[in-house]
Amino acid sequence: MSESRPRLIREDGLRVDGRKPEDLRPIRMEVEVLKNANGSALVEYGGTKVIAAVYGPRETPKAVQLPDRAVLRVRYHMAPFSTSEHKSPAPTRREIELSKVIREALEAVVFTDQFPRASIDVFIEVLQADGGTRTAGLTAASLALADAGIPMRDLVAGVAVGKVDGVIVLDINELEDEYGEADMPLGYAAGIGEIVLLQLNGVLTPEEFKKAVELGKRGAERIYAQMKETLHKKYLAVLES
């Protein structure tokens, strides 16, 4: 193994951060974190911290209106202080691409046809990046939409599966993303059993791909359960107040 490339799977079979291949990082979620947004959520996957805010449905200029449904607009952005190297605040090509990818995943579950000629705006801000920012962003956006009361077919839980040192692992961190052989972000609406986002960077055999999808779905189901519990706590607090 090259000296410049760290070992990602230890001799005891654990990963660099001590997790088993099928383990998620510690995950924290909170909704209603911004008072000026219609809905908001803060999501942490280990060292990755993402906040999402939703505004709408609200009136939109006629030039961008759709007569039969709402326009769902998503902006994914990494804060200049989110990485170890200072990042320009201007949107990058990657951020523009991921905004589109997340928007398409959310369009699969949001009932946009209930709000013709309106817009629903979703802002996703990565506060700290340590791998899996797009999947944490998707989870945060889904929670923020639910917090805003936007009708949806289901919540969407995002998680990234990777291949490191030949092993399929769940919820990769930045080191595994940088030095691993493959990275597969996945968005799963567990309640209706639909994958709404699936990308693959790198190479997997057909057997590895099948294993990665199944591992990703199981991990997303655990995140999905935590999302529901987070929303349940919010409404339970409202009833008790």
Given CA atoms 216, 217, 221, 223 in this order, what sign does their dihedral have?
Answer: positive
Q: What's the pLDDT at 6?
A: 83
Q: How far apart are CA 138 and CA 43, in angstroms?
A: 10
pLDDT per residue rounded down to tens, the chain (241 residues): 445 778 899 999 999 999 999 999 999 999 999 999 999 999 999 999 999 999 999 988 888 888 889 999 999 999 888 876 666 777 889 999 999 999 999 999 999 999 999 999 999 999 999 999 999 999 999 999 999 999 999 999 999 999 999 999 999 999 999 999 999 999 999 999 999 999 999 999 999 999 999 999 999 999 999 999 999 998 787 677 6
Q: Which residues pair with 201 in a beta bridge?
A: 183
What pTM was computed for the model? 0.93
Give residues with Cβ within 8 angstroms of 112, minimum separation 6.
Answer: 69, 70, 71, 72, 120
- Domain formed by 27-240, architecture: 2-Layer Sandwich (3.30)
Residue 217: helix, strand or coil by DSSP? helix
Q: What's the pLDDT at 82?
A: 82
Q: What's the pLDDT at 2?
A: 46
Residue found under tokens 């999402």: 52
Q: Where are the domains of the chain?
A: 27-240
Q: What's the pLDDT at 1?
A: 45
Q: How far apart are CA 166 and CA 188, in angstroms?
A: 24
